[in-house]
């Protein structure tokens, strides 16, 4: 009999304790960010998709060694270059990132020995068309320079 009533009593107390907590939370300020209207800055080390780094003349640092292509686990990087007459270095003519397959692991940036690749801070990537995710990084670099 005592157990019966004490169970009811302690049950009620535990319920009230919970209600006190939610009551207190009710008056605390909100912690969310209303996303499309306000955004948080991305942290320095944020790993977005890759982007080419340019040198002072606005040309990519890339020497077309192909290490990134080989390091990529998903095979989403394809690049090509050609050696102009009399030049020593190869010149990058095509750098395409297939973002549909990229898993943002960052292996390509790590593999690069020539400081030619970096992570972009872009994360608003959504589209209905697959073609929008085939990034022509060389073209993006030229666009930035324009």
Strands 77-83 and 90-98: antiparallel
**DSSP structure string for the chain:** -HHHHHHHHHHHHHHHHHHHHHHHHHTSPP----TTTS-PPPPTT---SEEE-B-TTS-B------HHHHH-SS--EEEEEEEPTT-SSEEEEEEEEETTT-----HHHHH-SSS-EEE--------S-GGGGEEEHHHHHHHHH-
Is residue 41 near other proteins by the rule CB under 8 A? Answer: no
Considering the complex, state which of residue 42 and residue 91 has its C-beta at the smaller distance from other proteins.
42
Is residue 29 near other proteins by the rule CB under 8 A? Answer: yes
Residue from the set 1, 3, 22, 86 that interacts with other proteins by CB under 8 A: 22
Is residue 127 near other proteins by the rule CB under 8 A? Answer: no
Closest distance to other proteins from the beta carbon of 91 (Å): 28
Residue from the set 107, 118, 120, 142 that interacts with other proteins by CB under 8 A: 107
Closest distance to other proteins from the beta carbon of 87 (Å): 29
Residue from the set 93, 104, 114, 145 that interacts with other proteins by CB under 8 A: 104
Considering the complex, state which of residue 29 and residue 86 has its C-beta at the smaller distance from other proteins.
29
Considering the complex, state which of residue 23 and residue 143 has its C-beta at the smaller distance from other proteins.
23
């Amino acid at each position: 009999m005592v157990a019966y009533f004490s169970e009811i009593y302690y049950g009620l107390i535990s319920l009230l304790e919970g209600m006190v907590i939610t009551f207190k939370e009710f008056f605390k300020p909100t912690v969310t960010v209303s996303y499309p209207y306000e955004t948080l800055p991305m942290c320095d080390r944020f790993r977005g998709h890759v982007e080419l780094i340019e040198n002072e003349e606005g040309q990519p640092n890339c020497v077309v060694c192909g290490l990134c292509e080989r390091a990529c686990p998903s095979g989403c990087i394809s690049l090509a270059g050609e050696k102009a007459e009399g030049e020593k270095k190869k010149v990058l003519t095509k750098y395409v990132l297939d973002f549909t397959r990229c898993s943002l692991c960052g292996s390509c940036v790590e593999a690069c020995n020539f400081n030619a690749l970096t992570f972009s801070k872009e994360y608003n990537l959504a589209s209905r068309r697959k073609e929008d995710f085939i990034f022509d990084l060389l073209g993006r670099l030229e666009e930035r320079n324009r």
